[in-house]
Structure 1
Amino acid sequence: MSGALARNMLAVGIRSALVGLSLTALSATALAQEPAATEDEDKTLEVVSVLGTRSTARSATDSAVPIDIINAEELRNQGATDVLDTLKVLVPSFNVSTIPIDDAATLIRPANLRGLPPDNTLILVNGKRRHRSAVITFLGHGLSDGSQGVDISVFPSLALDQVEVLRDGAAAQYGSDAIAGVINFGLKRLGEGGQLEIFGGQYYEGDGFAKQASGQVGFPLGAAGFGTLTAEWREADATSRSVQRDDAAAAIAAGYPNVPDPAQIWGSPEVKDDVKVVGNFGWKGENVEVYGFGNVSQRETEGGFYYRNPTTRGGVYSNDGGQTLLVGSPSGNTVCPTINLRDSAGNLIPYATVASQVAALPGDCFTFLELFTGGFTPRFGGKMEDVGFTGGIKGTWAGDWSWDLSGTYGNNDIEFSMVNTVNASLGPNQPAGLVFRPGSNEQTERMFNFDVHKAFEKFNLALGAELRNEEFKVGAGDTASTAIGPLTEEGFSIGSNGFPGFNALTAGSWDRDSWALYGDLEYYVTDQFLLAGAVRHENFDDFDSTTNWKLTGRYDINENFALRGALSTGFRAPTPGQANVSQVTTAFIDGELRDTATLPPTNAISAFYGAEPLTPEESQNASFGFVWDGGHWQFTADYYHIQVEDRIARSTDFTITDADRAALLAAGQTFAASLSRVGFFVNDFDTTTQGLDLVANFDTDHFGGETNYAVAFNWNDTEVDDFTPGIISEARIKKLEESLPGTKGYFSVRHDRGTWDVLVRLNYYGSWYEDHLDSDVVSIEDGGLPIYEGSAFTVDLETGWEWESGLYARIGAQNLFDKTPDDNPWGAAVAGAAYPVHSPYGFTGGFYYARVGWKF
């Protein structure tokens, strides 16, 4: 029996079983949300959190700010193998989508909390700041453009004890990036025992097969210490939800051979050798504790790019829109004949006619139709390596002062690759295997913290200091990816087609130092009334300093009901990468080589066109809500209002006129001699985001076992208040405001009978907007291809068994009924996407899975 047949038979069995179980569960009770905690940790809303306070940890219902706490079992009991996809269904205000063709964003997907960019959310591990990734998301579909967030997919879910999501601004406590909120990943602390597990699953369509093996072991370190090691290996096949492009079909109809079908792949990229290792260690003495934790991970990812049509692709096949074939002389000594690709009516001339003229070309004439008769589709990918380590020592001083001294090192390095593409200017002399290495991005961060804390009778006092260094590097590409070949002057494009290599002018290293002082005071005015304040002053060596504050209050009206609220200011410092990145694309324009460049705003050429050094994005946050804790059930409601000023965007491109070039050259800017256009990052627009979070949880003994009902709901709205015309377009404004669903939530039920349990979850996604292929217009009447997608429901189902021996087995399905977005009405006409590709619930349909493991 073949592997594919076996997997298909498994799919039928699992899907049939799951549908039967879902119908039974649906007939028994209404749908609700999975409980927020295991029976060992009681209810999610009562699990202890370290976020939002520097004093003693509190449960979420005791907190003065809204916090979601997701325990280990809830993280793992679903089909997602990526922590991003896990959080997407468990935190309604958290959004992430499949990224099929978006340059480096395909490798590290941008995620959005409360409708804000990825780098507006601070990520912590065991309460310590996590280093950001090396990817600057140039293609972020409006919302995430230019962001540089953290890669949180490097953590195996087995290593996590719980994830805490602080849904409130916290820059005054934690520093830059904490505008939308804070996510803390708490690692397991095991001194003995462990776990082994294997996982497999695939999509209903029969693709995207994922396999994963993970293991964990805990061991003692002396009499009062522990060590926990977790390792995971994963691979996932690519998916495809494509239809044949109309232009590719037309080429086939004209007789062009070897046209791929489909010519372009829209789907999840292939993930190879995704290896993650995480360690967490601690040793406790009489008055001191030594701790350390860290990770080492690497993975390779490869996905599709846009199809290069054999009759129209500029700089490769044609430079006049497909009227004539691009033919050049590598030696430059031959005048090559013109070969028509279309007749006078605009129809493709049959390939046989074109091919006969190509065969008759002089020996010194070359066209890519000789190498790729049906066009080609580049493959883009990269190898990512991530290392992070934190070590520290903490203890007590003078009996009642607590102190904590720690150091952190983090590095994220991505080496990009392009396969099945060309450097057109090199003509027939392409690298072996059509493999290009366009270069690398690397982010390194170092940080030291010292914190002290003392609890008095009525108040808690915390003080701290931080030193931090960030460094961003761009590594040059190989010769083939950057070369200016002999066919350049005849109109052939330069660099690896689709993603040109970083040249010597682009490569470099930039760093920044900063220091911060901060304080936190919590005062119990009465036993029912808590007031808290925090202030942080942070100084950066490249743009001076910023001071931020936060005021928080909570009033317990009685033992069940409490009011809470917060006011704060916040900031996000532009990263060294955003402030210094250069990206240069070279083309043959008006008879000579010209560069179109994204330059640092501090560059003299950028300054000539009005650029100024980047400054922090600044925010004002307000939230208020209430908590009801009735013992067996809890309910929280929180409203938030976030104003962000001076958000960072890339400017429009400025054309360098002859007069401008002369003035720049006279000022000593020799680089301007080769430039045609220039753009830069700039602090430009302001937004207001507001929303409402509702969370409810109810425990019962229904149906002869422990049954938990819960619901979570988020309403989010963003408006662009102010912007500079020409810097961002009307289309981008619409994407900023509407590309994420305005409402999102889930409602599920979990029933537990000891050995056996079952979970049913109903997910809801409100309507959303997509500007298909970034047409940069907002209506079909203007020639654009936008998509307005209505609301949608999906269903997740999982059931499992766990025996006293420690053995367990689980089967499940995400998107049980195979819900996909409506068909893309322009898919074939434009680029072959069967569905809108940025759907908040994905476009690959249902996924079934099974896992088997042993706890020891």
Structure 2
Amino acid sequence: MRKTKIQHAITTALSGMSLAALALTAPLALAQEAETEAAEPENLEKIAVVGARGAPRSVTSSPVPVDVLSAEDIEAVAFTDMNNVLMTLVPSYAVSRQPISDGGTFIRPATLRGMPTDKTLVLVNSKRRHRAALVSIGGSGTQGPDIATIPTAAIANVEVLRDGAAAQYGSDAIAGVINFQLKENTEGGSFTADYGSYFEGDGDQITITGNKGFALGEDGFLSISAEYSDSEATYRGEQYCESWFCVDEQSDQYIADATAMANSVHGSDVVQPWGQPNTSGTRIFVNAGYALTDDAELYAFGNYSESEGDGSFYYRYPGNGTIEDLRLEDGSIWSPLEIYPGGFTPRFFGDVTDYSLVGGIKGMSGALGYDISGRYGYNDISYTLSNTINPSMGNESPTSFKPGDLTNEETQFQADFTYDLDEYVFAFGLSYLDESYEISEGEEASYFAGDYAQADPWGFCNDDYTTTEAGAAVIANGSTLNCANYTSNDSDEDGIEDDGFEGVDAVYTIVGVGSNGFPGYSPDYSGSYERDSYAVYTDISGDITDSLFAQAALRYEDYSDFGSELVYKVAAFYQINDDVGIRSSYGTGFRAPTPGQQGTTNVSTRLPNGQPVATGLFPAGGEVAQALGAEELLPEKSTNFTLGLTANYGDLTLTVDYYNIKLEDRLYSVSTRDVSTTVVTDPDADGYDAYQNYLALSSAGVSGAESIGGVFFFQNAFDTVTEGLDVVATYKMDSTYGTTMITGSVNYNDTDFDSDPSEYLDPEDIFDFKNGTPEMRGVFSVTHSYDVWSAVARLSYYGEYENVGSDDGDVINEDTIQTYGSEFMFDIEGSYMINENLTLSVGVRNLFDNYPDPSSNGDACCGQIYDSASVVDWQGGYYYTRLAARF
């Protein structure tokens, strides 16, 4: 495609900065091509540094830290999930594998610089990427984009801005910005087939991905990328054996039944599987542009993605509150063991649909550049639950359920402008954003409160524990009903009634409501949460002197649900000499809680006290959470400060950047609060608060409140300070034996409280928040190419971290603090170019089959060996082969 006047004009107008630096100046500029005309050689070095083969990955001329990852960098990583690719290449980016985390099993939340997903803005071609429908049910309750929907074949390069940029891009850009630049090829293409498996003999994975470019006449391009991936589950656990129930200690018949259930349901020999889930997906991305004139260009891009996955919940054993004896209407005894003789492990399935469309026109009118665009984004998660029951329906319960769907939609219109003022570039713009989050009602059986959600549903017994006429009738027919088999006493006058009951007849059994493991969304908790917002911004940047570049930005945003806010940022780069420069920035940020964070509700099984408990999450602004003491959510506000050093000594490039992020009114889930139906009237007695929480749930009309053992909600719980250091170095060597590129990147990150969190978090959660992730992370790689051969060796380092197993009231049990040692994981890959079109690669990820330390402090249960939330991979070694074609 020919170079248009618009592209040349913008390149010339902004030639004082690299393209990565322009990401901080104006969304319009970042959308332009990284190439320049041969007639402008003086601009080539400044513009083409981004994404150029063999170029330093960290930009040294930018006033803030920017990493640029080329397509070659991405292709050299033995992952297809973009989350894993970024984690491998960017040490301050982290993501964990959470096998039992509801929707988090399928859409994994990530962190950048210790900040959760929703504090990092994701762009595609410099346009905001829509959020996924998933709201994480614990911790920060994050709701961010699902970047796994972006196929690696579609990417020309990735720019990772490691600094707050809310003044330029708005809400979410507190920790940084990740911009995915799509390919713009008019011809040629690629095809890659990848197959691999873990050393353990499971987790087989196949990925097929490709790209093809087409010319649209003489002045346009169409680039189409597609990917198909399929990954089988892994199993890294052991048999379920806990103090409250141990499979191995049961009868031979029970063990046989339980093992048969496990094999038929999830294909392992243990009743509780731990590992990565089964996943598969098909993803398509399209990028197109067409030059209308020398001064104007139309562009459009979009995607369509369908993916699915399945995982397990916690194993249900006899007597756990779900598998209980019930007395049916005919007076007989029934148990779920008649359906599941070995107990059961609910299976959770998620079908994720994601699509988007962005279109616009950009051009130049004299010194004024413009980019006017509109976008629409849609993400939907449809859940299915199988191998479970609705306990309250007894023997009439189905074993498969549709608990409902979650949908996130966004529509945005945006206009961005730049104006060339010779020595300076003035940028300004405005946008309008409409977003909605919808919880769709599940099928009735998934939330229905059946007959056994209450005691004695058939009226067999009187209040004085004598038999009614109906009860006498079933006894006459041979029932073992015994209404008197209910002992109640309060002889010790401790304020706790019924603390001495034993041998209760099944007629009094109360069980949970809804599909067990994930109750469906009832009409009471379904609905749509909507808002709109608008923003205006201005930005000016340029060379103050020959050595000093400076930038200032101002942004005003107004939300229909949270009011308005004005944020700003200043940044500067000073070139001390030809080799060394210093840079710094200071800015403020503002992040409004998403509609999803305001409206999400969930009842699922969690481990607040080390044992599986049905736990309910309720919206902070709703009746239930308000009855539990919640307050309406507020926006989060931040201040960012960075100070860095950049150096270029021949073929050595080095950047060192310190950062400090203060976050006020940080959104976080409160520690799980116990719920109990045991009547406790003495405010000073143990269990009083738990009983009050039950009364609050009951008075708010929560169906199945009797079976809920814990509750929590999101709050603006505390303030934090996150500070750290990023070091990135690259060194290039050329010799008669080929070219070698050495890259080293290290991140130190520490987050601490800046206010007292004890009102919202218990001691265990406070300790784990501060100590639960490694403070040090490093990635070191060597790439060497010679003739038709090339090789990549990569070493990943994870520092020590700690986890506490349990707390005793307001005191941490020091004996349960476990220190997880540092870990090194080594990857290696070799490639042979068969001909100019075909390349064969073989490699091993985690060559020495390293695992993190097993959990030994009692915090893990139910067959779990490793801390499943750890950012340190616990799947073991993985080998693979790849065939790549270029044409």
- Corresponding position: 1:788 with 2:819: yes
Matches of residues 473-492 of structure 1 in structure 2 within 5 Å?
473-489=438-454, 490-492=509-511
SS at 1:259 equivalent: helix
SS at 1:819 equivalent: coil
Q: 1:650 to 1:765 in 2, by over 3 A?
A: closer
- Aligned partner letter, 2:380: D
* Selected match of 2:385 from 418, 421, 424: 418
2:570 alignment counterpart: 551
1:75 alignment counterpart: 74
- Corresponding position: 1:522 with 2:541: yes
Q: 1:728 to 1:248 in 2, by over 3 A?
A: same
CA distance in 2, matches of 1:716, 1:585: 32
- Aligned partner letter, 2:568: W
1:258 alignment counterpart: 257
2:288 alignment counterpart: 281
Residue 487 of structure 1: how far off its partner (Å): 2.3
Alignment deviations for residues 21-70 of structure 1 (CA, whole Å, 9 cap, x no partner) = xxxxxxxxxxxxxxxxxxxxxxxx98856422228665422111001111
Q: 1:779 to 1:695 in 2, by over 3 A?
A: farther
Aligned 8 A contact 1:720 1:736 in 2? no
* Selected match of 2:838 from 796, 807, 814: 807
- Aligned partner letter, 2:345: T
CA distance in 2, matches of 1:631, 1:509: 58
- Corresponding position: 1:371 with 2:339: yes
Unaligned 5+ segments in structure 2 are: 1-16, 31-46, 50-58, 260-268, 455-508, 606-613, 682-688
Q: 1:130 to 1:778 in 2, by over 3 A?
A: farther
Aligned 8 A contact 2:763 2:811 in 1? no
* Selected match of 2:851 from 806, 820, 841: 820
CA distance in 1, matches of 2:876, 2:704: 48
1:169 alignment counterpart: 164
Residue 250 of structure 1: how far off its partner (Å): 1.5
Alignment deviations for residues 348-389 of structure 1 (CA, whole Å, 9 cap, x no partner) = xxxxxxxxxxxxxxxx32012222221111111210000111
Aligned 8 A contact 2:137 2:602 in 1? no
Aligned 8 A contact 2:828 2:845 in 1? yes
Report which stretch shifted further, 158-167 or 626-635: 626-635
Aligned 8 A contact 2:807 2:813 in 1? no
Aligned 8 A contact 1:244 1:828 in 2? no
Alignment deviations for residues 389-445 of structure 1 (CA, whole Å, 9 cap, x no partner) = 111101112x110000000100110001111111112222232xx221111111001
Alignment deviations for residues 709-752 of structure 1 (CA, whole Å, 9 cap, x no partner) = 12110100110121342412222222222222100012221111
* Selected match of 2:878 from 847, 851, 856: 847
Residue 840 of structure 1: how far off its partner (Å): 2.1
Aligned 8 A contact 2:413 2:431 in 1? yes
TM-score (norm 1): 0.83
Q: 1:298 to 1:168 in 2, by over 3 A?
A: same
Residue 836 of structure 1: how far off its partner (Å): 2.5
CA distance in 1, matches of 2:440, 2:596: 13
Aligned 8 A contact 2:137 2:617 in 1? no
Aligned 8 A contact 2:764 2:812 in 1? no
CA distance in 1, matches of 2:234, 2:843: 20
Q: 1:674 to 1:827 in 2, by over 3 A?
A: closer
Aligned 8 A contact 2:21 2:63 in 1? no
- Aligned partner letter, 1:820: Y
Alignment deviations for residues 682-707 of structure 1 (CA, whole Å, 9 cap, x no partner) = 21211100000001111112571111
Aligned 8 A contact 1:827 1:833 in 2? no
- Corresponding position: 1:755 with 2:780: no
CA distance in 1, matches of 2:441, 2:665: 32
1:582 alignment counterpart: 601
Aligned 8 A contact 1:619 1:643 in 2? yes
Aligned 8 A contact 1:779 1:786 in 2? no
Aligned 8 A contact 2:20 2:159 in 1? no
Q: 1:223 to 1:855 in 2, by over 3 A?
A: same
Residue 838 of structure 1: how far off its partner (Å): 2.8
Residue 175 of structure 1: how far off its partner (Å): 0.4
2:41 alignment counterpart: none
- Corresponding position: 1:536 with 2:555: yes
Aligned 8 A contact 1:391 1:406 in 2? yes
* Selected match of 1:313 from 304, 317, 320: 320
- Aligned partner letter, 1:634: T
CA distance in 2, matches of 1:785, 1:253: 34
CA distance in 1, matches of 2:576, 2:615: 62
- Aligned partner letter, 1:97: S
Residue 468 of structure 1: how far off its partner (Å): 0.2
Report which stretch shifted further, 49-58 or 86-95: 49-58
Report which stretch shifted further, 568-577 or 46-55: 46-55
Q: 1:606 to 1:729 in 2, by over 3 A?
A: same
Residue 257 of structure 1: how far off its partner (Å): 3.8
1:6 alignment counterpart: none
CA distance in 1, matches of 2:822, 2:415: 48
* Selected match of 1:745 from 753, 778, 785: 778
- Corresponding position: 1:569 with 2:615: no
Residue 617 of structure 1: how far off its partner (Å): 0.6
- Corresponding position: 1:87 with 2:96: no
Residue 558 of structure 1: how far off its partner (Å): 1.6
- Aligned partner letter, 2:192: E
1:462 alignment counterpart: 427
CA distance in 2, matches of 1:182, 1:626: 20
Q: 1:786 to 1:295 in 2, by over 3 A?
A: farther
Residue 673 of structure 1: how far off its partner (Å): 10
- Aligned partner letter, 1:631: G
Q: 1:771 to 1:381 in 2, by over 3 A?
A: farther
1:393 alignment counterpart: 361
Aligned 8 A contact 1:156 1:276 in 2? yes
CA distance in 2, matches of 1:596, 1:94: 30
Residue 581 of structure 1: how far off its partner (Å): 2.6
SS at 1:61 equivalent: coil
CA distance in 2, matches of 1:526, 1:829: 59
2:403 alignment counterpart: 438
Residue 137 of structure 1: how far off its partner (Å): 0.4
- Aligned partner letter, 1:157: T
Unaligned 5+ segments in structure 1 are: 1-44, 318-325, 335-363, 587-594
* Selected match of 1:384 from 347, 352, 377: 352
Alignment deviations for residues 221-255 of structure 1 (CA, whole Å, 9 cap, x no partner) = 12110000011111110000011122111225685
CA distance in 2, matches of 1:673, 1:551: 52
- Aligned partner letter, 1:842: D
- Corresponding position: 1:271 with 2:279: yes
1:769 alignment counterpart: 802
Q: 1:575 to 1:558 in 2, by over 3 A?
A: same
Alignment deviations for residues 446-488 of structure 1 (CA, whole Å, 9 cap, x no partner) = 1111011012222110000010011000011112211222222
SS at 1:723 equivalent: coil
Aligned 8 A contact 1:777 1:783 in 2? no
Q: 1:779 to 1:373 in 2, by over 3 A?
A: farther
Q: 1:546 to 1:435 in 2, by over 3 A?
A: same
Q: 1:585 to 1:488 in 2, by over 3 A?
A: farther
Matches of residues 58-137 of structure 1 in structure 2 within 5 Å?
59=49, 60-137=59-136
1:39 alignment counterpart: none
Aligned 8 A contact 1:245 1:829 in 2? no
CA distance in 2, matches of 1:198, 1:83: 17
Aligned 8 A contact 2:21 2:61 in 1? no
CA distance in 2, matches of 1:746, 1:651: 34
SS at 1:691 equivalent: strand
1:715 alignment counterpart: 748
- Corresponding position: 1:623 with 2:655: no
